Amino acid sequence: MLGAMARPRRRGKDDGEKPFWISYADLMTAMMVLFLSAMAVTIAAVTRVVEGPAEARAREIKAVCEELERELGDVPDIRINCADHRISFGDVGRFAVNSYRLPVEADAALARLVPAVLDAADGELGRRWLKQVVVEGYTDTVGGYLYNLHLSLQRSEWVLCLLMDPAKNAQLELTPAQLERVRRLFLAGGVSFNNQRQTADESRRVELRIQFYGLGEEHASPHVDADTQAPEGDRCQL
C-alpha cells in the first residue's frame, strides 16, 4: 500500500532556468526598444542639421505659394499650381480667335488676385524670395510666328491693363501705392505659341508665372511711399 503511494514529482532540471530566460528576453526587448528610439531621435536631429540653403529656400517658397493658394481658395476661376509656380484662370482666362481681350468674367478674378499677390509679396517670406510675376499670353499655332508673337504681347499687355487700370477693370480697388507696387512686380512677357495645350481653344490662354530670387541674388527695393501718385497719362494703350 505504501508502495502504491504516489511518489513526489521530481523537479525537471530546466525548471529553474525558465525565469532566467524570460527575464533575459524581456531585457533584450527593452534594450531593442531603447536602441530604436535613440536611432529615431538621432536621425531626426541629423535631418534638421543637414538642411542646406537650397532646401530651406524651396521649403519657404512653397510656403509662400501655399499661402497664396489659401488666400484665393474661394475664387473658382483662379488655379494656382505650386509645383511649377503658375497661376491660370480656366475658361475666363481664354482668348477668342485673333483677339487679345478676355471674357468680362475675368475682371473679378484679376481684381481679387492683385491684392492677394501684393500681400504675399509683402510677407516675411515673400520679401525674401518673391521676385516678380510674369504675365504670359499664349496663342494657337494658326498664323506665322511674328503675327502670333505680336498677338501674344498684346494679350499679355491687356491682362496687365486689367491688373492696374481701373478704366479697363472697374472692379479694381487699389490705392496709388498699390498700383505702383503692381507696376514694379508684374511684367508682360510674349511667348507666342510655345507650350501648346491639347486643343487650340485651350492654347489661347493667359498664365501668370511667379518668379523667385535665387540664393544670393540681389533684391530690388519693394518700398513705395504711401503718398505715391500714378504717373500722369499712364493708361492702357489698347
pLDDT tens digits along 20-77: 555 666 677 777 878 788 787 777 665 555 668 999 999 999 999 999 999 999 999 9
Domain that holds residue 101: 53-212
Is residue 35, in this structure, part of any structural domain at all? no
- The pTM (predicted TM-score) of the whole model is 0.73
The pLDDT of residue 232: 63
DSSP E strands, the chain? 79-81, 86-88, 130-137, 186-190, 206-212
Distances, alpha carbon 98 to alpha carbons 9, 113, 147, 152, in Å: 105, 26, 10, 10
Is residue 232, in this structure, part of any structural domain at all? no
Is residue 139, in this structure, part of any structural domain at all? yes
> What b/e string do you get for 180-207 counting C-beta neighbours within 10 Å, with b at 16 or more?
bbbbebbbbebbbbeeeeeeeeebbbbb
Is residue 9, in this structure, part of any structural domain at all? no
Is residue 230, in this structure, part of any structural domain at all? no
Is residue 141, in this structure, part of any structural domain at all? yes
Is residue 22, in this structure, part of any structural domain at all? no
Count of structural domains within the chain: 1
Three cell numbers at 79?
A: 488655379
Is residue 32, in this structure, part of any structural domain at all? no
The pLDDT of residue 34: 81
pLDDT tens digits along 79-95: 999 999 999 999 999 99
pLDDT tens digits along 96-143: 999 999 999 999 999 999 999 999 999 999 999 999 999 999 999 888
Distances, alpha carbon 85 to alpha carbons 68, 69, 113, 184, 187, in Å: 11, 11, 15, 19, 15
First to last CA, the chain: 125
CATH number for 142 = 3.30.1330.60
